[in-house]
Chains A and B, each alone.
Chain A
Amino acid sequence: AQRVTQPEKLLSVFKGAPVELKCNYSYSGSPELFWYVQYSRQRLQLLLRHISRESIKGFTADLNKGETSFHLKKPFAQEEDSAMYYCALIISGAGSYQLTFGKGTKLSVIP
């Protein structure tokens, strides 16, 4: 069965410092990976997906199939980045769909 691991429950960084939120997955096929973010008192929302290879709010994430990782990175953390971040793996095909979330990492950016 597929699994998503976010090894850090809490990550604290200073404003302006680089951020890396780790995500590792276990799945033998070709995965679809996403990062979701939940700001305080707001709904869970999609941040980015690996197939679009875009940068959202300064965040990027590259799929590394060799290391089975999809780490989320930002070169300079901002206070407004403080939030809960979830990595998610989707497997879908004809008539099936499965989404697995990691347990989340709480990012705290210290002013």
Chain B
Amino acid sequence: DVKVTQSSRYLVKRTGEKVFLECVQDMDHENMFWYRQDPGLGLRLIYFSYDVKMKEKGDIPEGYSVSREKKERFSLILESASTNQTSMYLCASRPGQYNQPQHFGDGTRLSIL
């Protein structure tokens, strides 16, 4: 069974802090994704990565960056956290093969005070 693990379920940070959200998958998947989930807005893609050291902007990349130094780990970075980044963050991974679905982690509920 695919395991996508997000390092924290709940996180509280202050405005202006640099925040790291970590995600690890154990299935040697090529592709990894970061979404934020907000009521009424569904899931919105922040960034994704096709492979190690590769990254692509999603629909809402502003205020975020990512790092993929190893295949199994995909980090989301909030350079200077703001209150409008309070949200549920979901990590997902998938194999690189054609039309394979994504597998999701449990999510990190991030509150910026």
Q: Which residue, A45, A49, A90, A99, has most C-beta atoms of chain B within 10 A?
A: A99
Q: Within the assembled complex, what's the spacing in Å between the Cα atoms of A102 and B4?
A: 22
Q: How far is the CB of B88 from chain A (nearest CB, A)?
A: 10
Q: Which residues of B contact A65 (CB under 8 A)?
A: none
**Candidates B31, B33, B42; contact of A102 at CB < 8 Å:** B42
Question: Contact at B104–A103, with CB atoms within 8 Å?
Answer: no
Q: Within the assembled complex, what's the spacing in Å between the Cα atoms of A103 and B42?
A: 4
Q: Which residues of A contact B107 (CB under 8 A)?
A: 43-44
Q: How far is the CB of A108 from chain B (nearest CB, A)?
A: 15
Q: Which residues of A contact B33 (CB under 8 A)?
A: 99
User: What are 24 residue pairs bridging A and B, where the CB atoms are less than 8 Å apart in the complex?
Assistant: A9-B40, A32-B99, A34-B101, A42-B106, A43-B4, A43-B104, A43-B106, A43-B107, A44-B92, A44-B104, A44-B107, A45-B104, A46-B101, A49-B101, A51-B99, A90-B101, A92-B99, A97-B31, A97-B50, A99-B33, A101-B42, A103-B41, A104-B42, A104-B43
Instruction: List chain B positions with a Cβ less than 8 A from chain A.
Output: 4, 31, 33, 40-43, 45, 50, 90, 92, 98-99, 101-107
